[in-house]
Amino acid sequence: MMETLNGKHAVVTGASRGIGLAVARTLAAHGARVTLMARDEAALAEAALALGGAVAWQVVDVADLDSVGAAFARAGTVDILVNNAGQAASAPFGRTDAALWQRMLDVNLTGAYHCIQAALPGMVDKGWGRIVNVASTAGLTGYRYVAAYCAAKHGLVGLTRALALEVAAKGVTVNAVCPGFTETDIVRDAVATIVRTTGRTVAEARAQLASANPQGRLVQPDEVAHAVAWLCMPGASALNGQAVAVAGGEVM
């Protein structure tokens, strides 16, 4: 019998586009009540309409503790938290200044910390919860020119594993999904950077990124979303502290 998430409230950050929107769509298809969170109010409203209009949304900056607290207070008790909000910026380490370094940590790591702090107490009180952190293969291996991003994503995987042990006996699981290069705005920006700095064509830049995947292609947002949904199912209760690579075999 197909499992459902009926009666569960899911919050997805970075939900106005890309992986976040795909995750929200997939969780809703499994019966969850979904609240979208992101910084751009207009994009959130558009995303809610794309999901049928009967979807709640909250404007939030995950790097801002007060913003997170207010958004989660309005959203109410959370059963499923998907920390998808993130940014990527590339620069050689010698040109990675303190501001870029801090921004990568604030959005990709501290933002997840803020949201977990807001959602976890209610999960523990209910004795059931699912936290899924959208990390990256950059949380499992290294890539040139994105030291700050890699550091933040490695930190997110570390947070996942540590917290999973703390809540293992409380009915809450904490896992990460680690997409490879995925058809999102981040990859679009990476392609633009490659074109600008190397003179390659867009097709050549995309092929370069796709070549990291043994399947020879970019991952699709829906593929990541299905992995997230799987980790959220009631039957996934034994999956805890895992970092699942969604990358066609790039990282094993």
Same domain, 52 and 172: yes
What does the pLDDT read at residue 2?
Answer: 67
CA-CA distances (angstroms) from residue 172 to 82, 89, 126, 249?
13, 32, 9, 28
Same domain, 131 and 225: yes
Same domain, 94 and 38: yes
- Within 8 A by CB and 6+ apart from 84, the residues are 12, 13, 14, 15, 19, 20, 23, 134
User: Residue 145 sits in a domain of what CATH number?
Assistant: 3.40.50.720
Q: Does some domain include residue 138?
A: yes
Could you tell me which residues are beta bridge partners of residue 36?
Answer: 12, 57
Task: List strands edge to edge, sheet with 9-13.
Answer: 56-59, 33-38, 9-13, 80-83, 129-134, 172-179, 243-246
Same domain, 84 and 191: no
Q: Does some domain include residue 118?
A: yes
What does the pLDDT read at residue 170?
Answer: 98
In terms of Cα–Cα distance, which of 97, 86, 102 is closest to 186?
A: 86
Same domain, 88 and 136: yes
Q: Does some domain include residue 128?
A: yes
How many residues are given for the chain? 252
Token look-up 């409380």 returns 170
Residue 211 CA to its chain's centroid (Å): 23
Q: Does some domain include residue 4?
A: no
Same domain, 201 and 230: no
pTM equals 0.94
Same domain, 28 and 64: yes
Print the domain residue range for 207: 183-218
Could you tell me which residues are beta bridge partners of residue 58?
Answer: 37
Q: Does some domain include residue 165?
A: yes
The token pair at 205 is 């830049």
Catalytic machinery residues? 149
Q: Does some domain include residue 106?
A: yes
Q: Does some domain include residue 24?
A: yes
Beta strand segments in 77-235, E:
80-83, 129-134, 172-179
Provide the total of helices (H) and of strands (E) in the chain, helices listed first: 9, 7
Give how many domains the chain has, as a whole number.
2
129 by Cβ neighbours in 10 Å (0-12 / 13-18 / 19+) ranks as buried
Same domain, 203 and 227: no
What does the pLDDT read at residue 186?
Answer: 83
Token look-up 């930190």 returns 155
Token look-up 């009666």 returns 7
Low-confidence ranges of the chain (pLDDT < 70): 1-2
What does the pLDDT read at residue 1?
Answer: 46
pLDDT in tens, 202-214: 999 999 889 999 9
Q: Does some domain include residue 193?
A: yes
pLDDT in tens, 11-51: 999 999 999 999 999 999 999 999 999 999 999 999 999 99
Same domain, 77 and 124: yes
Same domain, 57 and 124: yes
Same domain, 161 and 204: no
Could you tell me which residues are beta bridge partners of residue 59?
Answer: 38
Same domain, 107 and 211: no
